[in-house]
Structure 1
C-alpha cells in the first residue's frame, strides 16, 4: 500500500509556559500542505525499513515509521512488513515531515490489516511518537495547545489561496530553537486573529521562534522579507524553522528568485 504523508505549517506559534515534565506548552494552528513524502508498506518475510531521497540521519531503527510499527505490533501481533520511505520533505524544517511519516504508518497499518481502529485510538498511538504526530491522523486544520498534541476545531479555510514554501537547507534543532525562548502569553489570541481577514495577520500573528532563530540564521529573515516583497499577504517561519512560507492571493512563480540550492514547494492550499 502506497500513501503520501504531507507536511504542515504553523499559523502563529506561541510558547506559553514551561511544563514540569520539561516540555513546553504552545498555542498554534496547524494547517496541512501538500508537500509530501512517499510511503510504501507491504507484507514481508521479516520486518525491514528502508529509505531513499533525502538522507535521514540516525539509526533507521529509531525512525518514526519503524517505531510506529513496533508500538502497534505489541498490541495487535502484526505480521512483518517492509516499510519504504522516499523522503522529499526537508528534515528539521518546521514542517512536521517525520511526524507525518509516523502517523501515516499508523493509518496504513490500520487499513492494511483491518485493525478497525478509530481516530482517537490512532491518535493515542501517535502521541508517544512526537508532539505533533497526532495532528496527522485527522490531517485537517486545528487549533492546538498543550505540547502541541491537544486539539480543538477551528474554522480556517485557505483553499482560495496559494502558498510558497522556501527552505534554505538550514537544519534548526528543536533544542537549539527553544534555547532562546522566554515563555509568555500571546498579545493576540490565535483563534481571534485567524478569524480576521488574512491581510490583518501580518500585524497580529507571529512565531515566537523567529526572533532567536533569525538572529542565528539571518537567511530565514531574508526569505520572509523577499516573500513579502513578492506580494505575500502573510509570511512566517513554520514551527521552529527553518522553512518560511508565504501565502499569496494568486499563483506565484518564484523561479530564479532564490538561490538554486534552496528547496521550494509551491501550490494551492487545501
Structure 2
C-alpha cells in the first residue's frame, strides 16, 4: 500500500460542557458529551521513503508545524518508524470554532499512517500518543460518540439517536487559553450523570465557557440570536465561536435545502446543516486492543 486518499476527519459538537474543578497544575476538569458530525476535513496520504514528513494545503493554509505534521512525527518517534509521508489537506472545518478540527486531523493522520506504514498499533496505543498532542485527540481515536471527563482523557462510550443540527460559525474565532484563563469562568459545576443526560441528550446541560466567550466574542451571542429567529435553542460548542441547535426531524428532511439559507447572516459567516454519525468513519482501520 503506497497511498490512502479521501481520508475523512470529522468534526464534533459538545452537547454540554461543564467545568467541575481545576487541578493544581492548572488543567481544568470537565464533563462533556462529544458528538461526531458529518462536517469533515479530508486528508490524502502518500508513503515516502527517507522519513520526511511534508504537507500540502489543498484549501485554507495551515501553520507550518500544525497538529497533522506533529502527529506524524510523534508516531515515528513512538515506533521508530523510518518511513515518511506526504499529506494533502483539504480543510473544511473552521478554525477556532470549538469543533475539534485540528484534533480530528491529528487523529485521522495517526490512524491512516498506522495503516499506511503497517505499524499495527492498537487503539489504546494510538490514544496514548494522541493525548500528548492535545486533550481532544484521544476522543477522535475512540471510535464513536463519547462521555468525556477528567482533562479529556477519560472517555466512555455514548449512544445517541440520529439527529440533525444547524451549525453557525461567525468569522471571528476564540482562543481557548483566553477563555480558560479568564477569572470569571465558572469552575464549580456539579457532576452530571449519564442517566440524567440520557433522559434528554439534546436539551441537557449548558456550556460553562459560553458566558466568557460571549463577552470576548459578541458574535457568539449574535449567532445564538440568529438561531432563535428560527425558534431553535442555540448553544456554543467547545471553546470556539461556533453555535448550534438541533433541528426537528421534519424540518431537516423537508426543508434541509433552504433551512440554512433562512438565516440572514453576513457573507463571511458559515452556516451548515449537519447530521450526527453512527461511529467514526475510520473505526474499522484500527486494530482491536488485546
| In structure 2, C-alpha distance between the alignment counterparts of 1:81 and 1:71, rounded to whole Å | 13
Of the structure 1 ranges 171-180 and 213-222, higher mean CA displacement relative to structure 2 is found in: 213-222
Larger deviation: 9-18 or 216-225? 216-225
Give the root-mean-square deviation of aligned CA atoms.
Answer: 1.8
Runs (4+) of structure 1 moved beyond 4 Å? none
Determine helix, strand or coil for the equivalent of 1:240: coil
* Structure 1 portions without partners, runs of 5+: none
Determine the structure 2 residue equivalent to 1:195. 198
The aligned counterpart of 2:164 is 162
1:27 aligns with 2:26: no
SS at structure 2 position matched to 1:255: helix
Partner residue, 1:102: 106
**2:75 is matched with which residue: 72, 97, 103?**
72
Name the counterpart of 2:44. Answer: 40
Give the CA deviation at 1:198. Answer: 5.1
What's the secondary structure of 1:69's corresponding residue?
A: helix
TM-score (norm 2): 0.84
Matched position secondary structure for 1:17: strand
1:141-152 to 2 correspondences below 5 Å? 141-152=145-156
1:254 counterpart SS class: helix
Q: Alpha-carbon deviation of 1:170?
A: 1.1
SS in 2 for 1:205: coil
Q: Is the 8 A contact 2:11 2:40 kept in 1?
A: yes
Where does residue 261 of structure 1 map in the other structure?
268
Classify 1:108/1:219 alpha carbon distance in 2 versus 1 (closer, same or farther; 3 Å): same
Q: Which residue of 1 aligns with 2:174?
A: 172
Q: CA deviation at 1:256?
A: 4.7
CA contact (8 A) 1:5 1:37 kept: yes
Offset at residue 165 of structure 1 (A): 0.8
TM-score by length of 1: 0.90
Partner of 1:183: 187
CA deviation profile, 1:127-168 (whole Å, cap 9, x unmatched): 10000001111231111011112112233x231x21111100
Q: Does the aligned pair in 2 maintain the 1:228–1:246 contact within 8 Å?
A: no
Q: Is the 8 A contact 2:48 2:85 kept in 1?
A: yes
Post-superposition shift, 1:12?
0.6
CA distance in 1, matches of 2:33, 2:236: 13
Distance 2:234 2:27 in 1: 27
